[in-house]
Amino acid sequence: MQNFIFKARNSEGVLLTGRLTAASKPNVINSLKQKGYYLLSVQAESKISQLLTTNAGLGTHVKTKEKAVFTNHLATLLKAGMKLTMVLKTLSKQTENKHFSSVIKQIRQDIEQSSSLSEAMTSHPKIFSKVYTAIVAAAEKSGNLAESLSILSNQLKTQASIRMRIKSATVYPIFLLFVSLIIVAVLTTFVIPKFIDLFVNANQTLPLPTKILIVITTSVKDFWWILILLIIGLISLFLAVLKNKNFRKSFDSVLLKLPLLGALNCKLQLAHFARTLGSLLNGGVRISSALKTTKTVTNNIAFSSEIANVEERILKGSTLAEAVRDQQDFDELAANMIAVGENTGMLPEMLMELADMNETESEAAINSLTALLGPVMIVFLGLIIGFVVLAILMPIFETSSMIG
């Protein structure tokens, strides 16, 4: 997929400019013509322009919380009986994020040119995910758009809240790591070299810890640039290899089986699966289509392949509970809860309950790990400082004992 910049005029002669994501230029042209636009120009967006307009760039990032507020207001105003185009016009003026405001304006213009809301949102995949647009599309067909948007808003609020709590839990360990690196850098750069000069000039036999300290300090001081290049090279090599699908699948599979972290990762993946699938089913999407969409938005390839297995089993006539039970990374409790949901006709609600449960357990596990990580890092920092102090004092004590 690639970004394209276009200029066109609508049926009223108004000049429109915008950005579309598509597989090719002909796809963009066909899409614009279907909307009734008179096309003036279409150009592939340059790489420099893409870098300047990425999420990490100049104010084009739309937070999950902002999308939740937008979705909630959209649902509320639609329930109040306002026309969709008027709602979007109002929200574009109220939205503080200028980029998001321009996107809402573009969506309104597309709808005025006979596009549906889901079709208009599909042109902005960096803001509206496949799950989001799939739920909106299903809601438009079933006629319960406002209700589905309310549910979607609650899901986005939950996601934003979970991310915020996870970030808050990791602030202290990251701060400790940063302080540790500064202390080690100061010791290596300013303190230890002075003692090394003292020991070398004394022409005495140095103990092993002092020799090790001298080798490490000298290597870092003289070859720091090689160390940085080596780290960058290893990271680049890893990222390049990670693009290989087979390696990525194996790597993701290992992530699901690591001690402590593997169980946590499984819970996070299961929560994401249950919430995504539940949201889609609640929005009226058929289970086969919902599983296909859920599979594509899962960031762990190994877990995604298991969802693909579930989808295949469903197409062959199996129930969701039976298909899930045969997968390695779905626990028995998840299968049982899904079976209860299928038997009672409350599968979407039970999937949401499963998501809430796994998210709560994941958050508790993350809090426990971060609480443990703080003392571990303090001990690690203490061991480093202790080794440095020992390596410096040992030759001093030996010299004192020889003089005595």
* Residue 379 to residue 368: CA distance in whole angstroms: 17
Residues of the chain with pLDDT under 70: 1-2, 12, 14, 19, 21, 23, 45-60, 202, 400-404
Burial class (CB in 10 A: 0-12, 13-18, 19+), 340: middle
Longest distance between any two alpha carbons in the chain, whole Å:
100
Residue 55's pLDDT is what?
43
Other CB atoms within 10 Å distance of the CB of residue 197: 10
Query: What pLDDT score does 403 carry?
Result: 60
How far CA 236 is from CA of 34, 191, 232, 244, 369, in Å, comes to 43, 33, 6, 13, 28
Per-residue pLDDT at 171: 82
User: Quick one: residue 115, left, alpha or beta (phi over 0 = left, psi -120 to 50 = alpha)?
Assistant: beta
The rounded distance, in Å, linking the Cα atoms of 135 and 21 is 20
Measured in Å, how far apart are the chain's first and last C-alpha atoms? 78
Q: How far is CA 35 from CA 8, 114, 164, 303, 337, in A?
A: 11, 6, 39, 38, 45
Query: What pLDDT is attached to residue 56?
Result: 43
- CA-nearest of 153, 120, 148 to 285 is 148
CA dihedral sign of residues 220, 221, 223, 226: positive
Each residue of 55-80: pLDDT tens digit?
A: 444 456 888 889 999 999 999 999 99
CA distance 291 to 376: 41
Dihedral angle sign, alpha carbons of residues 93, 83, 160, 324 = negative
Angstrom CA distances, 203 to 59, 168, 196, stand at: 60, 52, 11
pLDDT at 47 (0 to 100): 54
Domain parsing of the chain, residue ranges: 1-53, 172-404
CATH of domain 172-404: 1.20.81.30
pLDDT at 188: 76
Residue 382 CB neighbour total at 10 angstroms:
10
Residue 101 has a CB neighbour count (10 Å cut-off) of 15
Cβ atoms of 100 and 70 within 8 Å: the answer is yes
